[in-house]
Amino acid sequence: MQAVQPEQLRNIVVTGHAGSGKTMLCESLALSMGVINRLGSIDDGNTISDYSADEVQRKHSLNTSILNGFWNDHKINIIDTPGLVDFHGDVKSAMRVADTVLIAVNAATGVEVGTDSVWEYTQEYYKPTMFVLTKLDADRTNFSNSLEELREHFGHLVTPIQFPAEEGLGHHILVDVLLMKQLEFNPDKPGNMTVSDIPAVHLKLAEEFHQQLIEAVAETDEELMNRFFEVGTLTEDELRSGIKSALLTRTFFPVFCSSPLHLIGTERLLNGIVNLCPSPIERGPEHSLCTIDDTENLLEPDPEGPTVAFIFKTMSEPRVGEVSYLRVYSGHIETGHELIDVQTGQLEKIGQVYTVLGQKKLPVEKLLAGDIGMVVKLKDAHTNDTLTDKGKNCRISPIVFPQPVFASAIIPVAQGDEEKISAGLHHLHEEDPSFAIIHDVEFNQTIIKTLGETHLDIIISRLQNKFNVQVETAPIKIPYRETIRVAATAQGKYKKQSGGRGQYGDVWLRLEPKERDSGFEFSSEVVGGVVPTRYLPAVEKGVRESISTGILAGFPVIDLKAVAYDGSFHPVDSSEFAFKIAASMAFKSAFEKAKPLLLEPFYSLEVYAPEQYTGEIVGEISSRRGKIIGMDTDARFQIVKALIPQASLSSFHHSLTRLTQSRAKYSYGFSHYEEAPQEIMQEIIAENRQH
């Protein structure tokens, strides 16, 4: 296939809530462009973009997938993304490299959680955005309600380009208020759009929407506004040009209609993509960072410029190895090209270059600036890496992935699989940087932080399927700490005689509480040589060993001072070993007298949620021994700020999801240690003594 010039390219990402019809929309676009010859089905597991075993099994998109085709002499790259919030890492990476975002909205259910989330990403990336109302041929659809909801959530700049002449079962006619024509589709047959005049029954509404469209577009451009005041209307060409400019400045958000299962609206949407959506040239230069002096450069999408390509997704495929999806921002890439990975400084030699059609790889000679494709078997380059010509030190700003918050420990089912788990997780993390792997040294636990429970399930499933290793989830162990309330003293005397040389060590210790977070301190007030100086390091060692394993429940002891102030020794039988044992005996005895207590870790928590849920969220946090410390507002969200015990965080994710129908987000970080209530302390002590 010949390389495509940037002005002939359109890079589209299809996003939306789970179940909004994204995959079937991509399927219908592919069929209309002629890249497939029949419509696949999610139930049958044979769509072009949901091809992996776990997607077929779960009937949901779990990975980014790419397809491309030609329409009116333009190449359209379409990136299909997962709808489940747990896989929004893929949504952000795809949106990073697209030029226009299509948000699919199910006309029966309207704006949902995922719709809100992807809208926020479009704001973050400042991307031209269009809405596509899907499933208008399904039962209980309501175009007017859906449009009203879109405007409530995303503002009055949301403007319909079409409306359905009828809704529900049998729907196949759209009224297009940009063309001011009726579009009739022959269901299930591509290439059968019939254009005719709008019948009288729909003309009044069409004229109202047409006027709204003209006013919305005129508002975005002073020249068009003057033209509108002079003539009272705008021509179709002026509207097209105005929409294109307004999309780029995010001052206009058109709404298209489509029923992908029956190819209704698909051809018109393709026309809209070609005529209204920006090419890489129109989208403008990409910001990049010079790695030598941290200055920002603008990269023009020039095929003759220096090569700069950005890897936005890495995947491991059976019998192929690692594949890297990338976008070329400047210059071109071709087979045999030698490029430098700016992050590592490593030389990467490009093998065969491909464009992508679902799981099919289509070899091409080269990819020019603005295009999206794939290369295989790069040595060391991964997601977020920039590949450039030698001597070109610029880096594309990396994808900022959503923060994973759902934490769970994992343990191997079979002993000895730890290394396989570690290697498997490392590979999976290269494919999906939106989860985090933490090794807790204190408890020797591997902790996985994901975007949700389904995300964790998929990672565990992939560990088994790709790396043949099985794991189970386990509760995260809480790093409690022990300390004292009051000062106390005690003697530790270790005396042992068993024939020959004996053992003798005798030391008096005083324990004093210190301020929270001030750590441990050891000092000596021994005078007169009652404990020879050479044995004091052994005394300190005995105390330090004791504080590392604690007395109450085996947790480290913090925030106290231990003072050796008296003792005695034997000129023959005393030894470092004896004084170390004596010190640990004195410590245990003094600790038990010093009103010991258990400290538990508290985390600062921020929950972002729509206002109607704040009462229930506050109640939920309080029921988990959390303390509300403040409330704030942020655009459409209320922010609940609280402190919560770490022990209460483990099941908080599930409760918050249930309480808010997944409409809340939260973040947390360690704050401080606080005294655990007596009943919790007794419970932890009893539990640890059983072990």
Residue 231: pLDDT over 80: no
Which phi and psi (to 5°) does residue 75 adopt?
Answer: -90, 130
How far is C-alpha 298 from the geometric centre of its chain's CA atoms?
27
Q: What is the pLDDT of residues 298-320, one digit of tens each?
A: 889 999 999 999 999 998 876 77
Residue 235 is predicted with a pLDDT of 76
Residue 18 is predicted with a pLDDT of 86
Domain assignment present for residue 313? The answer is: yes
In single-letter form, the type of residue at position 37 comes to N
Band of pLDDT at residue 49, cut at 50, 70 and 90: low
Residue 234: pLDDT over 80: no
Do residues 270 and 146 both lie within one domain? yes
Q: What is the pLDDT of residues 124-178, one digit of tens each?
A: 999 999 999 999 988 888 899 999 999 999 999 999 999 999 888 888 899 999 9
Domain assignment present for residue 218? The answer is: no
Residue 261 is predicted with a pLDDT of 85
Domain assignment present for residue 459? The answer is: yes
For 38, the enclosing helix (H) or strand (E) is none
Band of pLDDT at residue 219, cut at 50, 70 and 90: confident
Provide the 10 A C-beta neighbour count for residue 278. Answer: 19
Contacts of residue 138, defined as CB under 8 A and 6 or more positions apart, other chains included, come to 107, 108, 168, 169, 259
Do residues 150 and 193 both lie within one domain? yes
Do residues 488 and 415 both lie within one domain? no
- Separation CA 494–CA 271 (nearest Å): 90
Do residues 111 and 32 both lie within one domain? yes
- Separation CA 28–CA 11 (nearest Å): 17
Bridge partners, 324 (sequence order): 314, 375
In single-letter form, the type of residue at position 354 comes to Y
Do residues 560 and 462 both lie within one domain? no
Tell which of 338, 370, 396 closes a domain.
396
pLDDT, greater one: 377 or 599: 599
Residue 427: pLDDT over 90: no
Do residues 270 and 296 both lie within one domain? no
Q: 3-state class of 519 per DSSP?
A: coil
- Separation CA 256–CA 104 (nearest Å): 10
Distances (CA, A) of 319 to 104, 275, 376, 588: 34, 40, 11, 60
Tell me which of 196-210, 216-230, 618-632 is least confident: 216-230
Tell which of 544, 567, 594 closes a domain.
594
Residue 499 is predicted with a pLDDT of 67
Q: CB-side exposure of 208: number of CA atoms within 13 Å?
A: 5
Residue 214 is predicted with a pLDDT of 86
Domain assignment present for residue 94? The answer is: yes
Domain assignment present for residue 555? The answer is: yes
How many residues make up the chain in this entry? 691
What average pLDDT score do residues 183-203 get?
A: 88
Domain that holds residue 435: 406-474
Residue 571: pLDDT over 60: yes
What average pLDDT score do residues 74-83 get?
A: 93
Q: What is the pLDDT of residues 622-638, one digit of tens each?
A: 999 999 999 998 877 89
- Separation CA 146–CA 125 (nearest Å): 25
Residue 21: pLDDT over 70: yes
Number of domains in the chain: 5
Whether the CA torsion 417, 422, 427, 431 is positive or negative: it is positive
What average pLDDT score do residues 457-480 get?
A: 91
- Separation CA 415–CA 420 (nearest Å): 11
Residue 56 is predicted with a pLDDT of 59
Do residues 495 and 465 both lie within one domain? no
Q: What is the pLDDT of residues 342-356, one digit of tens each?
A: 988 999 999 999 999
CB 629 within 8 A of CB 686: no
What average pLDDT score do residues 13-27 get?
A: 91
Residue 281 tokens, joined: 């040239």
Residue 289: pLDDT over 80: no
Tell which of 594, 617, 651 closes a domain.
594
Residue 392 is predicted with a pLDDT of 84
Question: Could you give the percent of the chain with pLDDT greater than 90?
Answer: 65
Q: What is the pLDDT of residues 504-535, one digit of tens each?
A: 999 999 999 999 889 999 999 999 889 999 99
Residue 217 tokens, joined: 């577009």
Do residues 274 and 323 both lie within one domain? no
Nearest to 327 by CA among 290, 273, 368, 362: 368
Domain assignment present for residue 489? The answer is: yes
Nearest to 624 by CA among 609, 598, 602, 597: 602
Residue 55 is predicted with a pLDDT of 56
Do residues 666 and 554 both lie within one domain? no
Q: Chain-wide mean pLDDT for the chain? A: 90
Residue 379 is predicted with a pLDDT of 87
Question: What CATH number corresponds to the domain at position 267?
Answer: 3.40.50.300
Do residues 336 and 459 both lie within one domain? no
Question: What CATH number corresponds to the domain at position 386?
Answer: 2.40.30.10
Question: What CATH number corresponds to the domain at position 434?
Answer: 3.30.70.870
Residue 535 is predicted with a pLDDT of 94
Residue 630 is predicted with a pLDDT of 93
What average pLDDT score do residues 102-128 get?
A: 93
Residue 175 is predicted with a pLDDT of 96
Residue 391: pLDDT over 90: no
Which phi and psi (to 5°) does residue 601 adopt?
Answer: -75, 135
Residue 504 is predicted with a pLDDT of 93
Band of pLDDT at residue 187, cut at 50, 70 and 90: confident
Residue with tokens 């020019």: 368
> What is the arrangement of strands in the sheet containing 353-357, beginning at the earlier edge strand?
347-349, 338-341, 386-388, 308-317, 321-330, 372-376, 353-357, 360-364
SS in 3 state form for 461-483?
HHHHHHHCCCEEEECCCCCCEEE
How far is C-alpha 276 from the geometric centre of its chain's CA atoms?
30
Contacts of residue 507, defined as CB under 8 A and 6 or more positions apart, other chains included, come to 491, 492, 493, 531, 539, 564, 566, 567, 579, 582, 583, 586
Do residues 292 and 374 both lie within one domain? yes
pLDDT, greater one: 61 or 320: 320
Residue with tokens 């920002």: 296
Domain assignment present for residue 241? The answer is: no
Question: What CATH number corresponds to the domain at position 582?
Answer: 3.30.230.10
CB 527 within 8 A of CB 565: no
Q: What is the pLDDT of residues 374-389, one digit of tens each?
A: 999 898 899 999 999 9
Q: CB-side exposure of 245: number of CA atoms within 13 Å?
A: 15
Domain assignment present for residue 377? The answer is: yes
Residue 501 is predicted with a pLDDT of 77
Question: What CATH number corresponds to the domain at position 684?
Answer: 3.30.70.240
Residue 377 is predicted with a pLDDT of 86
Question: Could you give the percent of the chain with pLDDT greater than 70?
Answer: 95
**pTM of the predicted structure, to 2 decimals:** 0.87
Do residues 357 and 467 both lie within one domain? no
- Beta strands 181-184; 308-317: pairing state: unpaired
DSSP state of 371: -
> What are the b/e assignments for 77-113, b being 16+ CB within 10 Å?
bbbbbbbbbbbbbbbbbbbbbbbbbbbbbbbbbbbbb
Residue 191 is predicted with a pLDDT of 74
